[in-house]
Amino acid sequence: MARRAILALGLLAVICGLVCSAPCAAQFPQEPNHCSVPTVAEDDAPHRKVIIESIHFDGPIHLADSDVAQIIAEANKGEWNANRAGWIEELAEIGLRGTWQDQGYFGVKVTAEAQSLGGDSSEERFLVKAHTDEGPQYHLGDLRFANARPGDITAFSESELRNAFPLREGDLFNVGLIRKGIEELTKLYSSQGYIDFTTTPETEVDDQLQRISLVMRLDQQKQFRIRTTDVVGLAPGPEALLKSKLKAGEVFNPKVVDEFYEENKTLLPQGTSPTDLQVRRNARDGTVDLFFNFLPVGVVEGIVLDSSGQPVTDASVYYRVSDDPSIGERHQATSDCNGHFTLKHVLGGNVQIGAFKATDGYVDRRFAFPFYGETNDGEFPELQVRGGETVKGVIIRLGRRGALLELNVFDVDSKTSLDRVTYQLCNGDQPGDGHYCISSGVTGHRAQRIVPSVPITVKIGAPGYDNWNYKNADTGSALVELNPGEVKSLTVYLRRSSK
């Protein structure tokens, strides 16, 4: 089992290019989240291109001379910098080890060192000396497909999945083709609206038969249909054609977008591509809003700071166009572990840049009700964006943090949880004003809600039960006192109504 787990993890690392990551610190309860560890900045030394003249191996190898020549050719097309340490390790891992793994030598180990042959200010030539421990050559054993989530109904038949996968049982265990298979499976699922589909390869090794069986764990997730398709900057004819291919209610297939751009490139503004499409997911109802922008766009770069001036990781950053506030809602960026963000595809004109992070108590002010008061009423800069230009140094300051209120509701007699509850929360700074209240129903006995960090009133109900109003047992106050970033849990017992 350990060998199986180690090889599965190793295969993931090879196929997906996983990098070392670390969790970002958070003081507010949130979904598990990880950010890439910031890399150390390179020196300012000028770039000198690496040119590989030849690769010498210190022992016999099973790789053809043509394969070695291809490794050298691909490496010399790259932009490795002779002044940067580590390029030789990348060559050993990506060029050499990867090529052997495509020939079935999955466990190959490669080390390499570079000997300079001289150069000039723009490039340096090298002789590479390599040692390779090939290990056994493996073929593909069983190939199976299984759902990652119990109970899922697979959208495609076994034969459709196998036809999309380029490897067959008995073929050399080719990591490159497995990577290609994952790409093809992703395209297949995306064609039916499963745009968040992922698959995880798991391996089972038989060293005696030199076979590696493969199980592809399929997580198709939610199917998405089109809710809206908006287009700006396109002539009426092409716009009508585009919208006719992406109608509301239809399954969203990204391939349709690619085909439209390819078939109509002479009608589209120069430089536009399918990557310009902005897709906003509505996970709750399984729909997407599509926004095609054919107008000149700019880029905004900056940093998100919290209410104490510290960088905010994983904040959602958005823009709003002054004369059409809805446009920017369709595109967002996420701040990195240093709070930095790059917001692309920003329509030219006067825009406001804003941010939120609900998991840290900073609500999205675009959709905040009066109930939230000053929660996250921060400093959201307004600026002028021009097409083809980048605005740098933008600082977003998040405002007052909210708190997190957890409600757990039970029957007072049986102590069992209730199937459905309702709650009404009101901002205590505005007593008697219904505009400063929010109400909602929740399936199940447990509810979580970000609330303003001010005193609030809490009213809980359930079908067939008397309403419950919060009252402090010590002071008699009807207000729940909350501080910024606080997590407060209330356990409520409801009594059946006598009516």
Question: pLDDT by residue (tens digit) across 445-497?
Answer: 788 899 999 999 999 999 999 999 999 988 999 999 999 999 999 999 999 99
- The label of the residue with tokens 């506030």 reads 325
Contact 138, 210 (CB under 8 A): yes
Average confidence (pLDDT) over 90-97? 93
Q: Which pLDDT band holds residue 325 (cuts at 50, 70, 90)?
A: low
The answer, yes or no, to whether residue 441 has pLDDT greater than 50, is yes
Confidence at residue 328, expressed as pLDDT on a 0 to 100 scale: 56
Residue 17: pLDDT over 50? no
Query: Nearest 5°: phi and psi at 349?
Result: 130, -165
Q: Could you count the other beta carbons within 10 Å of the beta carbon of residue 448?
A: 12
Q: What is the pLDDT of residues 221-245, one digit of tens each?
A: 999 999 999 998 899 999 999 999 9
- Give the pLDDT band (50/70/90) at residue 436: very high
Measured CA distances, 339 to 35, 65, 343 (Å): 11, 48, 13
Helix (H, G, I), strand (E, B) or coil at 470: coil
Instruction: Name the residue type at position 15.
Output: I
pLDDT exceeds cutoff 60 at 7: no
Amino acid 272: pLDDT: 85
What's the pLDDT tens digit per position in 46-66?
A: 789 999 999 999 999 999 999
- Asked if 225 contacts 251 with a C-beta cutoff of 8 angstroms, the reply is yes
As a whole number of angstroms, the distance between CA 393 and CA 303 comes to 7
- Asked if residues 82 and 123 have their Cβ atoms less than 8 Å apart, the reply is yes
- 466: nearest Cα among 442, 438, 498: 498
Q: Which of 408, 490, 493, 402 is nearest to 447 (CA)?
A: 408
Contact 329, 280 (CB under 8 A): yes
For residue 426, CA distances in Å to 85, 418, 461 come to 60, 23, 15
CA distance 98 to 108: 9
**Residue 451: its pLDDT value, please?**
94
- Give dist(CA 215, CA 231) in Å, integer: 42
CA dihedral for 123, 127, 133, 134, sign (positive or negative): positive
**390-397 vs 297-305, strand pairing mode:** parallel
pTM of the model: 0.66
Q: Which residue in 22, 30, 100 sits closest to 67, CA to CA?
A: 100
φ/ψ (deg, to 5) at 471: -150, 125
Supply 272's token pair.
């536009």
State whether residue 316 is helix, strand or coil: strand
Q: At residue 192, what are phi and psi to the nearest 5 degrees? A: -110, 20
| Cα(94)–Cα(88) distance, integer angstroms | 10
Which residue is associated with the tokens 């391939």?
Answer: 255
* Of the candidate ranges 28-32, 352-356, 401-405, the one whose mean pLDDT is the lowest: 28-32
What percent of the chain is modeled with pLDDT above 90? 70
Phi-psi region of 271 (alpha: psi -120 to 50; beta: other; left: phi over 0): left
The pLDDT of residue 367: 82
Q: What confidence tier does 20 reach under pLDDT thresholds 50, 70, 90?
A: very low
CA dist 314 and 300 (Å) reads 17
| Cα 396 off chain centre by | 22
Which three-class secondary structure string do you get for 311-357? Answer: ECCCCEEEEEECCECCHHHHCEEECCCCCEEEEEEEECEEEEEEEEE
CA distance 174 to 15: 11
Asked whether the beta carbons of 60 and 134 are under 8 A apart, the reply is no
